[in-house]
Structure 1
Amino acid sequence: MITQRFATVEPVFGNLRGNKRLHRFTLRSKAKVDGQWKLFCLMHNLEKLAHYGYVA
Structure 2
Amino acid sequence: MDDTYLLNATTYTERNPVKAELGDRAEHWPWSSAAAHVTGELDGIAETPWLTERVAGW
Q: State the TM-score bracket (shorter-chain normalisation).
A: 0.3 to 0.5
Normalising by the residue count of structure 2, what TM-score does the alignment of the two structures yield? 0.32
Normalising by the residue count of structure 1, what TM-score does the alignment of the two structures yield? 0.33
